[in-house]
Chains A and B, each alone.
Chain A
């Protein structure tokens, strides 16, 4: 079949070459369709269900909302697990589905189930699904602030309420229109509210309760349609208007008319524009601000969307009141642009280097151009494949693309045809006739097509184990493997069709049979060395073994990391305060933190989200602030040479002086992924499930003590469940009954007084604002006087709260975490200086023997040890299978076991170089480096294959073994050097680049370059030695 394809390619060379246009067209179209981002999206298939429950404490939230929601979701198809947390005022249930579940399908299912329970939830509470976005979704952030001295129409300076109003009603509706934006989340400032704040003594004077005020406002604030009448053929609509529209309106509402004297709201209360009881705030450079975050729909192109949001903001600016400043503070565009630039430089420079090498070594510019043409064509075809396969272009997916590798197949073919054409022309004494030329091309191609195809096939096959990775590793590396496989397959197709066709079409001129000078010099040096070493085979073999052994040891001394962390250019500094810290205090503390950060000349701007935003995509308690630090361009730093880790170190030093904060340094995207994937992030997590929180806490403490003494345990930690100070008002039922009050009436009055009660909406055009009743701020704040709160009695008298209930201040659950429908507490530990497997086994034993669990409580184990276990289990199956496949392919190619094994010996030899290169560059082992080793094995095999098959062919032609080895090695010097050089040079820019994102690609490139150098040297020396040795007893008959 291969032969017939080759034949048709050479015969119909015009047709085949013109196919190039189709490839170019399709490729360019694909490029416009290709999603581009900085990193692959590693978010799992998850749906967040948020229910806002103003005023609900964690316990009530769990009981009334979280539990019903969780229960109704149980048994959804493809459900992996649910986890939930119940906090003050918020229930969040995260539903994680099996990989590959369609997100929209999952959301539809959830929606259907949620509909069923809407009636069982407390009135007015509405579970909502989070935006259809992922960890990469927060692509754009902006702040809204007022210039100093700016005033509104009424001459007042803009306050936090006014800024939030501008964000909610002018900016947000416009930004939300940008295609690809699924949500615009606001945090900071205050939602504007109309507040009616009755004074208790005034109410008492009239014998009214605070609930009478709510009731009156509720019943005096609506418009109502009243149908229509026909009057003389004309239809006239009837409507009665009663909506409150202003503070004056509200003040005039009559609450009651005792003895004929109307008591208006104004008589007992103050009406004003007030602040909501907010759950989140934002600061920028030490000043409170309003922060908007545009979230991208899953699967959109982040750069495009972020750019469009930026353009939209320019439009929005024209519609803002004067003096209002809208600043873009974070945009994904810059990161993506920088990483794309890095990848482009790497690919472009790599491609250029490859072309130069081809020119030099082939010594024929037409041949070089034909080979080089495969590069852009393969790239275009790859983009088409990526679009089809749904792989996005990013640092990881493009990180293993080496054009040297891609053109290997083509190089071998072109090299051989060039050589043969040269020889044929020499024999012919001039240019060949068309027919002859085509025949020579056909023969030459056929001669090497098999090893070249097998080689490429092998390189492709070695990527297969990567597809066995699951979880986050899988999400990171599947795109990379997929892209390489697509590119290699495309290149393979081109070398089978386009390359021979193009050679037949264009190699018409004189082809010199003389190799380029470089090769000639190398050959002169190579021959005596090889001849000598063939005699010293023991030395060579032992040397090789010693090398392998020493690098294997070296490999164990290298540090290790998961994946080199992408330097996003910006920082996030999470400032964490003790649980129970109030939002306003947290804001104060954050302003100090930001002042300290801003004092660094490298910092462009810094801003923070504190607590939970309007849409609770990341439900943080008020004691935590996500601080973003946007750094200046490096040129603008006082010392552009300063490394980022140095800067972080200095910042840590300065920030540690700011009292009351703990810090975690991450980066925006990284932090978001951590938050979304969450779960247990330590090596081992012991989860204790049960019902009673105190009991869970106690058991958690016991497990913690057990863990702490097990050798190897470090960073042991118990999840903090309590610590939120809570004032619990415990009613005295008998006393209440004596005063004729029900518990509900008492609770209503307490809730309205302190939390406030929403009694309606005030409309201003499209804008709508809540109308709330609560105590005046000064009274609300005075907790000591809580007991003195007068409760109105049905007969018009009053009783102080302390007479009928006892306020108790005690720490209460901070948040309640649940997993799969059960409360749980987690004890986490990391493992140092011990292997994970035995540690986990010991922990399981010790907990089983030392911790007695009451009935209804059980323990389960989770953590990264699970991923490690499953990954190594998978790899221990897949890697041997892959090796067998490679061996089988080799066997098919060379036809005997001995040669197969000799070729295979190139693999460990190649790995030595990779390890050495890492060691020299002081890089740790990482999965990226691991992928490099995988690629390396493929390339090493390809080299060996080319060499051995040629030597054997010579030997078959009854040349003396030693002669065959030397001659074969010499003839193959050029292709071996060429494939090796192009493959390694293709990666050189990637290994040396220092641009944004280069650190992610560097280890892979380093390993491959190091490995190819060692593998080439060793292929040229060890392989011939081994071949001769292995075959020395065999006499060819």
Chain B
């Protein structure tokens, strides 16, 4: 009797204790490993912003960002000097005056001949500097500086990593803090004084006068623009394990399909293999599908 009681009591307590373990283990039951598939009813998908489009052709527009400054090309700057040394008798223009080629700028009386001769504007432009006044002696210093700012150039710095992709003829969008304009890379110059970059030059039409030399600009160079037959939206791509792919929709079912991608412009990616044209895949909120498929492995740990 004594043994019996002891055994029963001991056994009851041991059983009670082991109950703790069993009660705790009843979490996470619906674990379905393997198939990267999930089912979401269409109205729920709609409610959660899950949207689908089809794999199809698109134009890939790859760009790269460069920075640089606006400069006046040297052929549009004219530093006016007196041809023969002498006395400046008259200056016809002042700083800020717009002038045409052939306009009178100043009159100088040559020392040698004591004849007066006229200095005329060689280019269209604007007087930006004036170092001469009537009565002053002109020798070989610059009397006036004319600048033609109707056409400016952006000199963009192209670093090593971008160099292979940039070439002349590529469209570029040049923008400052307040404005932007489209242009084309005209020339590529090696950098002076051994800087580790080259200069890509693009012309800016400044007929409105909104641009000014010295401005700091950003240039988005379109390095590639091609029509690609099979593309997907880049935001649709999700990583599952070691693979990258998209979620292909079949009715209410979404399946992960690994995709190998080629070129990409950040918005659109070229598909090399994995999905065919016309396949519906998830673009909007694709992360939610990934979250739903992988959720069984998610647990609280701390």
Chain A: residues with CB nearer than 8 A to chain B? 85, 199, 201-202, 204-205, 465, 473, 548, 552, 555, 559-563, 574, 576-579, 581, 585, 589, 592, 618-620, 623-624, 657-662, 664, 675, 678, 681-683, 714-715, 717, 719-720, 725, 738-739, 784-785, 787-788, 790, 797-800, 802-803, 815, 817, 830-831, 836, 864-865, 867-868, 871-872, 875-876, 879-880, 883, 887, 901, 904-905, 907-908, 911, 924-927, 929-930, 933-934, 937
**B294 / chain A contacts, CB cutoff of 8 Å:** 578
Verify if B226 is at the interface (C-beta below 8 Å from A): no
**B296 / chain A contacts, CB cutoff of 8 Å:** 662
Q: Known contacts A85-B302, A560-B16; decide if A201 and B177 are in contact (CB<8 Å).
A: yes
Prevailing SS type, chain B contact patch = helix
Give the segment of B3-11, B84-92, B119-127, B164-172 that binds chain A.
B3-11
Find residues 8-65 in chain B having any chain A CB closer than 8 Å to their own CB: 8-25, 27-28, 38, 40-41, 44-45, 47-48, 50, 64-65
The answer, among B16, B218, B289, for a CB contact under 8 Å with A929, is B16
In the complex, what's the smallest C-beta–C-beta distance from B64 to chain A, in angstroms?
8
Verify if B115 is at the interface (C-beta below 8 Å from A): no
Q: Known contacts A659-B48, A662-B299; decide if A927 and B65 are in contact (CB<8 Å).
A: no
The answer, among A578, A720, A864, A927, for a CB contact under 8 Å with B24, is A864
Q: Known contacts A683-B25, A715-B25, A911-B5; decide if A879 and B10 are in contact (CB<8 Å).
A: yes
Chain B: residues with CB nearer than 8 A to chain A? 1-2, 4-6, 8-25, 27-28, 38, 40-41, 44-45, 47-48, 50, 64-65, 67, 157, 159-162, 176-177, 195-196, 215-218, 239, 266, 287-292, 294-302
Q: Known contacts A592-B48, A620-B302; decide if A562 and B292 are in contact (CB<8 Å).
A: no
Contact A662–B298 (Cβ < 8 Å): yes
Q: Known contacts A560-B22, A562-B17, A803-B161; decide if A720 and B2 are in contact (CB<8 Å).
A: no
**Subset of 11 A-B contacts with CB under 8 Å:** A201-B177, A561-B16, A561-B19, A578-B291, A578-B294, A657-B44, A662-B295, A662-B299, A798-B157, A803-B160, A830-B24
A924 to B19, CA, bound (A): 9
The answer, among A555, A561, A592, A725, for a CB contact under 8 Å with B23, is A561
In the complex, what's the smallest C-beta–C-beta distance from B232 to chain A, in angstroms?
16
Contact B17–A871 (Cβ < 8 Å): yes
A198 to B292, CA, bound (A): 39
Select the residue from A201, A552, A725, A937 with max chain B CB neighbours within 10 A: A201
In the complex, what's the smallest C-beta–C-beta distance from B105 to chain A, in angstroms?
29
Which residue of A has the minimal Cβ distance to B288? A660
Contact A589–B299 (Cβ < 8 Å): no
Contact A577–B16 (Cβ < 8 Å): no
Select the residue from A473, A576, A738 with max chain B CB neighbours within 10 A: A576
Contact A930–B12 (Cβ < 8 Å): yes
In the complex, what's the smallest C-beta–C-beta distance from B117 to chain A, in angstroms?
38
Q: Known contacts A623-B298, A715-B28, A720-B301; decide if A560 and B18 are in contact (CB<8 Å).
A: yes
**B291 / chain A contacts, CB cutoff of 8 Å:** 577-578, 581, 589, 659-661
- Shortest Cβ-Cβ A-B pairs, 10 listed: A205-B216, A562-B20, A660-B291, A560-B19, A830-B25, A659-B292, A561-B19, A927-B16, A930-B16, A578-B294
Select the residue from B14, B41, B195 with max chain A CB neighbours within 10 A: B14
Contact A868–B14 (Cβ < 8 Å): yes
**A205 / chain B contacts, CB cutoff of 8 Å:** 215-216
In the complex, what's the smallest C-beta–C-beta distance from B215 to chain A, in angstroms?
8
Contact B16–A926 (Cβ < 8 Å): yes
Contact A879–B8 (Cβ < 8 Å): no
The answer, among A202, A563, A576, A875, for a CB contact under 8 Å with B298, is A576
In the complex, what's the smallest C-beta–C-beta distance from B40 to chain A, in angstroms?
5
The answer, among A204, A830, A868, for a CB contact under 8 Å with B216, is A204
Q: Known contacts A201-B67, A589-B288, A678-B302; decide if A904 and B1 are in contact (CB<8 Å).
A: yes
Contact A872–B14 (Cβ < 8 Å): yes
A792 to B235, CA, bound (A): 31
**B196 / chain A contacts, CB cutoff of 8 Å:** 738-739
A876 to B6, CA, bound (A): 9
Contact A785–B65 (Cβ < 8 Å): yes
A88 to B24, CA, bound (A): 29
Contact A714–B25 (Cβ < 8 Å): yes
**A802 / chain B contacts, CB cutoff of 8 Å:** 161
In the complex, what's the smallest C-beta–C-beta distance from B112 to chain A, in angstroms?
42
**B11 / chain A contacts, CB cutoff of 8 Å:** 555
Apart from A720-B299, A817-B301, A872-B10, 15 more pairs, CB < 8 Å: A201-B217, A465-B13, A555-B8, A560-B16, A592-B48, A659-B38, A659-B45, A664-B27, A739-B196, A867-B20, A868-B21, A875-B10, A901-B2, A907-B5, A926-B16
**B161 / chain A contacts, CB cutoff of 8 Å:** 787, 800, 802-803
A392 to B58, CA, bound (A): 72
**B297 / chain A contacts, CB cutoff of 8 Å:** 578, 720
A678 to B301, CA, bound (A): 9
Which residue of A has the minimal Cβ distance to B160? A803
Which residue of B has the minimal Cβ distance to A562? B20
A559 to B23, CA, bound (A): 10
Select the residue from A560, A787, A798 with max chain B CB neighbours within 10 A: A560
Q: Known contacts A201-B67, A473-B17, A585-B287; decide if A579 and B298 are in contact (CB<8 Å).
A: yes
In the complex, what's the smallest C-beta–C-beta distance from B48 to chain A, in angstroms?
6
**B16 / chain A contacts, CB cutoff of 8 Å:** 560-562, 925-927, 929-930
Contact A719–B10 (Cβ < 8 Å): no
A201 to B66, CA, bound (A): 10
A883 to B18, CA, bound (A): 23
A831 to B215, CA, bound (A): 73
The answer, among A661, A788, A798, A934, for a CB contact under 8 Å with B9, is A934
**A202 / chain B contacts, CB cutoff of 8 Å:** 177, 216
A788 to B157, CA, bound (A): 12
A929 to B13, CA, bound (A): 9
Contact A578–B9 (Cβ < 8 Å): no
In the complex, what's the smallest C-beta–C-beta distance from B299 to chain A, in angstroms?
6
Contact A660–B292 (Cβ < 8 Å): yes
Which residue of B has the minimal Cβ distance to A551? B8
Contact A867–B216 (Cβ < 8 Å): no
Q: Known contacts A561-B23, A660-B295; decide if A879 and B6 are in contact (CB<8 Å).
A: yes
Which residue of A has the minimal Cβ distance to B43? A657
**B15 / chain A contacts, CB cutoff of 8 Å:** 555, 560, 925
**A925 / chain B contacts, CB cutoff of 8 Å:** 12, 15-16, 19
A202 to B176, CA, bound (A): 9
Contact B14–A661 (Cβ < 8 Å): no
In the complex, what's the smallest C-beta–C-beta distance from B178 to chain A, in angstroms?
11
In the complex, what's the smallest C-beta–C-beta distance from B283 to chain A, in angstroms?
16
Contact A201–B289 (Cβ < 8 Å): no
Select the residue from B40, B196, B297, B300 with max chain A CB neighbours within 10 A: B300
In the complex, what's the smallest C-beta–C-beta distance from A532 to chain B, in angstroms?
24
**B302 / chain A contacts, CB cutoff of 8 Å:** 85, 618-620, 675, 678
Contact B24–A868 (Cβ < 8 Å): no
The answer, among A664, A797, A865, A883, for a CB contact under 8 Å with B300, is A664
In the complex, what's the smallest C-beta–C-beta distance from B168 to chain A, in angstroms?
21
**A715 / chain B contacts, CB cutoff of 8 Å:** 25, 28
Contact A908–B1 (Cβ < 8 Å): yes
Which residue of B has the minimal Cβ distance to A472? B20
Which residue of B has the minimal Cβ distance to A725? B239
**A798 / chain B contacts, CB cutoff of 8 Å:** 67, 157
**B5 / chain A contacts, CB cutoff of 8 Å:** 883, 904, 907-908, 911, 937
The answer, among A548, A683, A803, A908, for a CB contact under 8 Å with B21, is A683
A534 to B296, CA, bound (A): 66
**A876 / chain B contacts, CB cutoff of 8 Å:** 10
Contact B65–A788 (Cβ < 8 Å): yes
In the complex, what's the smallest C-beta–C-beta distance from B173 to chain A, in angstroms?
14
In the complex, what's the smallest C-beta–C-beta distance from A857 to chain B, in angstroms?
21
Contact B41–A872 (Cβ < 8 Å): no
Contact B1–A905 (Cβ < 8 Å): yes
A924 to B216, CA, bound (A): 79
Which residue of A has the minimal Cβ distance to B175? A201
A589 to B288, CA, bound (A): 9
